[in-house]
Structure 1
Amino acid sequence: MAFFSPDAALSRARPQARLALFCLLGAVVVLLTVGGSGGLLVLFVGVAGVAVMAAGTWWVIAHHGAVRVVGGLLALGGPAAVIVLYARADLLPAALGALVLLAAAAASARAAARSLDRPAGMQAVACAAPRHAVLIMNPKSGGGKVARFRLAEKAREMGAEVVLLDTSGHSDVTQIARAAVAQGADLLGVAGGDGTQALVAQVAAENSLPFLVISAGTRNHFAMDLGLDREDPAACLDGLTDGEELNVDLGAVDGRPFVNTVSFGVYADVVQRPEYRDSKAGTALDALPGLLLAYAGEPLEARVGDVRLDAQQALLVSNNPYSVPGLAAGTGGRRPRLDGGRLGVVGVRVTSAAQAAGVALRGPASVGLKVMDAGQVTVTAQAPSIAVGVDGEALSLPTPVTCTISPRALRVRVPRKRPGSGGSGQALSWRTIFSLAFGRRRQTEILQG
């Protein structure tokens, strides 16, 4: 593991922070000089375009028929109208110049954050190679990645025992894992989706055994946040011979384990539908309008630690918070660490186009979006049971439903060389960037964010 020097980190980050502020100032100068009196118009029209696009998107997902068509036109036409207005007012060069400089400012700020990354948490430790590794593989997972990447053959060549799941879907993964432990396995691993990963991970945690993740699922969110190679599942097998261990948290919802997320409300109901597996986008578009209207009348209630969240249409509870909170959490976001001992929580209540625009413009500061974290989350509703999506698997659980987290309960064995390994991934605010650039805060304060 590379040695982290705070002085060297600050020396790298400070010029990057100054460059970010220089680009930000440049964007303002471009608007005031090139744009002249139209500089403020550029800002106003740009914000209005984002709001119109968000409102149109809301109508697309919340309505059927003509209203959906109008929403689609707004979602596509809003950005197009902005470009046309800029061009007609001779403001397009100013707008494009400012946009380029803002992008450069954001990139420099991210570079400063990466320079300050430190191995705080997710620290790997050396470990001995397993003597009797048992790997459970799902031949159907990820569209047949087990066969396509010859995972079973390669694992056996490395000395591992491979158990292929019954493709009819009748295999009891938990029972198979426990039988392997009873027969002397000193490592359990899974080539499959995140739902299967979680079930075997629980058995490994119960028996204090290392757990090997093989990214053979469709999305492989858990593998991504562990820094594993999602494009080449076979590279994960290197952990058998040249590996190290991470101690990570394991979530549970009413006793059932999860490694990524538990969803309640709108998305969880969509996942329940049989046609969802064959046509995810089409099923969601068909179901969302009715579900959104239903949850506007029968919302979810949640107790997040000591805080109460009322009237939520959807809730997402994650095993550690995502670094990109909001609707992207669980899809486009990442968790910079998996050993923080906290559940991430995102609550959504959007009942109008105006609130949808507010979420798009203000994010967690908007009325429709709540981003929190806690050690325990309890979800209730009027119904005796509610739809729940656990790592993408559809379940129905009796209310109330409780989510908990077991800190560093799982020993995950990973290859020493993996493409996504890095530091803490801390996000820096512009206030911190300014302080870093001009040295107005102490070194320890900056490094702690």
Structure 2
Amino acid sequence: MGSAMSERHHRRQRWAARGALAAAASALLLPLVTGGLRGLLLLVATLAGLALTAAALWWVLSRRGAVRMAAAALALFAPVSLISLFATANLLWVVFLSLLLWCAAVWSGRYALRSTGLRPVRAKEYRTPPPQRPFLLLNPRSGGGKVGKFQLKEKAEALGARVVLLDPDRHQDVTALARAAVADGADLLGVAGGDGTQALVAAVAAEHGLPFLVIAAGTRNHFAMDLGLDRDDPAASLDALTDGVELRVDLGFAADRPFVNNASFGVYGAVVQSPGYREDKVGAALERLPELLTRQSGPRLTAVADGTAIADPQAVLVSNNAYRMDDPFGFGRRERLNSGRLGVLAVRVDSAVEAAELLLSPRPEGLTVLTAQRVVVQADAPQLEVGLDGEALTLPAPVHCRIARRALRVRVPRDRPGVPEAPPRLDWRRLRKLAAAVGRTAAPSRSRHG
């Protein structure tokens, strides 16, 4: 029975790998087979159009005035012209069919690789008794007023929590409030607010070895997403007070400032300092980007990650565990929060050609992606503008980033949506080996039964 099931498993694996390779090859060959020389020329035109679009987008971001307007028109004109060319040649259906074949290739390839038995590392859950004196900080403006909409204060108090509503009209030191709560006997600290506020309270919880509760009431809730919480129902996070488990996750630090998501240096770190950024993010970015991208303003950066130097990038992102970069559906997510390593993403683009390479090349020179335990961001200026979990800060240079492995006890509901399983990275070389190797493995089994 076991042998038969194993053989069927290998057979499915083999055909999925072969199907992925066949679909990918068909997607590449279809324009050439159906269009001949015309199809080949259109394929070349497509690559040129994509490169032109990337270059135009670079000019939009790095130029002003008439040049920016012309580049925006070009970025729109290039893809529209490509579609028109295929339509004129009566080959538009080929584009859609090729896209469908690519989708089939990706799906089949991931199915084949997933069936090899590789599984993502899941965070271990620890069962601990419910807190007796939980303390929660709630920001009534967070997420457009989710605290009031979901009646978080009333529900938390009904579960025995002491609740403090932050005053949106005056600055309050949330770190001091959390420390005072600990001194008063709190045995859990929780926050309904942005990721920056969560990080400050999380650091106090980690310092005192207390569990930390994340209430997904922010606008984006990246940390809550990677913890597998229900972002559509912030009140569901309160279930952790009565029926919860604990996860041990990492906490990042830039100098002595904690972060649960990331610390951004360079372009983004400077843009978030703009006075009008909160009201008009796009407008503020377009106003500052030309000088920042062309290095007319802002410090020159150097990042050193565990001894690996990254010279003169325009942007450096240091994250609490690494973000996925290979999957558009999982982009911005982290597979785990307890690896004990910082993610490092650095970008250097100095021309339209390099911008096109960043879009089209599988391994562009201007993009550096790695992990490290320690990262030092240096500059030719005494101060560095930093975006820390979306909050604007200025820190003295150099900034030393580190990660405290599994320093944070996060209490989450036992019953929660969970983190979606990340699809395996698509490795075409491994797929080719898999398609051949599995066939040889399955063949002896069939001959014995023959």
Change (3 A) 1:133 1:17: farther
Equivalence for 2:387: 389
Whole-angstrom CA distance in 2 between matches of 1:11 and 1:200: 52
**More off after superposition, 19-28 vs 248-257:** 19-28
Equivalence for 1:289: 290
**More off after superposition, 111-120 vs 174-183:** 111-120
Matches for 1:29-108 after TM superposition, within 5 Å? 29-108=29-108
Shift in Å, 1:382 = 0.9
User: Which whole-Å deviations, capped at 9, do the CAs of 1:249-303 have from their partners, x for residues lacking one?
Assistant: 1000001100111011111111001210000011111111122223688521111
Q: Which runs of 5+ in 2 are unaligned?
A: 1-5, 442-450
Equivalence for 2:309: 308
**More off after superposition, 164-173 vs 203-212:** 164-173
Contact 2:340 2:404 in 1 (8 A): yes
Shift in Å, 1:112 = 4.6
Whole-angstrom CA distance in 2 between matches of 1:356 and 1:63: 14
Matches for 1:206-285 after TM superposition, within 5 Å? 206-285=207-286
Normalized against structure 1, the TM-score is what? 0.90
Q: Which runs of 5+ in 1 are unaligned?
A: 1-5, 444-449
Residue 356 (1) aligns with residue 355 (2): yes
User: Which whole-Å deviations, capped at 9, do the CAs of 1:193-233 have from their partners, x for residues lacking one?
Assistant: 00001011111111111111111111111111111122221
Residue 434 (1) aligns with residue 415 (2): no
Contact 2:14 2:439 in 1 (8 A): no
Output the amino acid matched with 2:434.
L
Change (3 A) 1:309 1:135: same
Whole-angstrom CA distance in 2 between matches of 1:409 and 1:75: 46
Change (3 A) 1:406 1:426: farther
Contact 1:318 1:344 in 2 (8 A): yes
Whole-angstrom CA distance in 1 between matches of 2:210 and 2:15: 45
Shift in Å, 1:19 = 3.4
User: Which whole-Å deviations, capped at 9, do the CAs of 1:289-320 have from their partners, x for residues lacking one?
Assistant: 12222368852111111111111111111111
Change (3 A) 1:190 1:130: same
Change (3 A) 1:67 1:125: same
Contact 2:120 2:421 in 1 (8 A): yes
Equivalence for 1:379: 377
User: Which whole-Å deviations, capped at 9, do the CAs of 1:78-127 have from their partners, x for residues lacking one?
Assistant: 11111111122333222221111112222333445555552524222323
Output the amino acid matched with 1:205.
A
Equivalence for 1:339: 338
Secondary structure (helix, strand or coil) at the match of 2:335 reads coil
Output the amino acid matched with 1:309.
I
Output the amino acid matched with 1:411.
R
Percentage identity across paired residues of the two chains: 53
Shift in Å, 1:344 = 0.8
Secondary structure (helix, strand or coil) at the match of 1:323 reads coil
Whole-angstrom CA distance in 2 between matches of 1:66 and 1:19: 49
**More off after superposition, 416-425 vs 172-181:** 416-425
Whole-angstrom CA distance in 2 between matches of 1:9 and 1:421: 26
Whole-angstrom CA distance in 2 between matches of 1:195 and 1:8: 50
Secondary structure (helix, strand or coil) at the match of 2:361 reads helix
Output the amino acid matched with 2:200.
L
Shift in Å, 1:383 = 0.8
Output the amino acid matched with 2:168.
T
Change (3 A) 1:236 1:31: same
Output the amino acid matched with 2:343.
G
Secondary structure (helix, strand or coil) at the match of 1:397 reads strand
Output the amino acid matched with 2:261.
N
Whole-angstrom CA distance in 2 between matches of 1:289 and 1:59: 9
**More off after superposition, 119-128 vs 230-239:** 119-128
Secondary structure (helix, strand or coil) at the match of 2:276 reads helix
**More off after superposition, 105-114 vs 229-238:** 105-114
Shift in Å, 1:440 = 5.9
Shift in Å, 1:188 = 1.1
Contact 2:110 2:423 in 1 (8 A): no
Q: Answer with 1 or 2: which has the greater Rg.
A: 2
Equivalence for 1:3: none
Q: How many residues align?
A: 436
Equivalence for 1:317: 318
Whole-angstrom CA distance in 1 between matches of 2:277 and 2:138: 24
Whole-angstrom CA distance in 2 between matches of 1:387 and 1:105: 44
TM-align CA RMSD: 2.7
Residue 180 (1) aligns with residue 181 (2): yes
Shift in Å, 1:164 = 1.1
Equivalence for 1:153: 154
